[in-house]
Amino acid sequence: MPSDLEIVVAERPADDVAERLAAAARTGGHIVLTGGSTPRSAYELAAGLETDWSAVELWWGDERCVPAGDERSNYGMAKEALIDRVSVGAVHRMPGELGRDAGAELYERELGALERFDLVLLGMGRDGHIASLYPDEGTLDETERRVIGAEARLEPFVDRITLTLPMLRRANQVLFLITGADKADAVRRAFADEPSRSTPASLVRAAGGRTMAVLDAAAAALL
């Protein structure tokens, strides 16, 4: 196992990540949230553990190009599960409704002078994608921009706005939350094999920081 990575196989991964999110909230700083279905319970539990997120600025790793109130919105999920239950210092939503390119441009401006995150939370698809960076796509080659648009590639089949690899790596901590047997093969490729464009999760490690993957036993089965 690469030395720059800690693997935690937890009985209850959502509880484990909720503790880490609550601790990060107490410390304060710039926290990047992920979308998808896996993190929802971790967000709910974290809100139960800590309601004072006033020292936190929330960002997103990616967003679907839908309005904030759409059920497919990553912001919408986090709002229900976390933001509406705590007091947050600042919320930097990705403007999905503007479309992938205009939305990415605006979020690039929203980032302003910010060059490093305190914590980046990531889920992973069973194909090994993270945020909206899909296997073997040109989006993986972006080195200048911090945010880009991405074409629809999987359900929900809408375009996306996503942080780029260089920006996801600029973190004091990168934290993966991945569960389920259907992801075990991608987990092996992401955390035990050589880094590869066919498994974008294998390309994200915290530059000068700590990288941890919190898994359940099913997701870790092939490690």
Q: Please report where in the chains the tokens 């090994």 appear, as a residue.
A: 128
Closest distance between ligand 6PG and the C-beta of residue 171, in Å? 16
CB of 177 to ligand 6PG, least distance (A): 8
Residue 34 contacts ligand 6PG per CB under 6 A: yes
**Contact between residue 54 and residue 94 where contact means Cβ atoms under 8 Å apart:** no
Q: Which of 129, 127, 146 is nearest to 32 (CA)?
A: 146
Query: Which residues within the stretch 45-64 sit at the binding site for ligand 6PG (CB under 6 A)?
Result: 61-62, 64
Considering the complex, state which of residue 54 and residue 151 has its C-beta at the smaller distance from ligand 6PG. 151
Q: Where are the beta strands (DSSP E) in 41-164?
A: 52-60, 62-64, 87-91, 117-122, 147-150, 160-163
Minimum Å distance from CB 219 to ligand 6PG? 10
Does residue 142 touch ligand 6PG according to CB under 6 A? Answer: no
* CB closer to ligand 6PG, 129 vs 169: 129
CB of 110 to ligand 6PG, least distance (A): 18
Q: Which residue has the tokens 């279905």?
A: 37
Binding of residue 203 to ligand 6PG (CB under 6 A):
no
What are residue 130's DSSP bridge partners? Answer: 133
125 part of the interface to ligand 6PG, by CB under 6 A: yes
Number of residues in contact with ligand 6PG under rule CB under 6 A: 15
The DSSP symbol for 169 reads H
Distance CA 178, CA 213 (A): 7
Cβ 125 to ligand 6PG shortest distance, Å: 4
| Cα Rg of the chain, angstroms | 16
Length of the chain: 223
26-49 in b/e burial notation, b at 16+ Cβ within 10 A?
eeebbbbbbbeebbbbbbebbbee
Stretch that binds ligand 6PG, among 35-43, 87-95, 113-121, 135-143 (CB under 6 A): 35-43
Interface residues toward ligand 6PG, by CB under 6 A: 34-38, 61-62, 64, 74, 123-125, 129-131
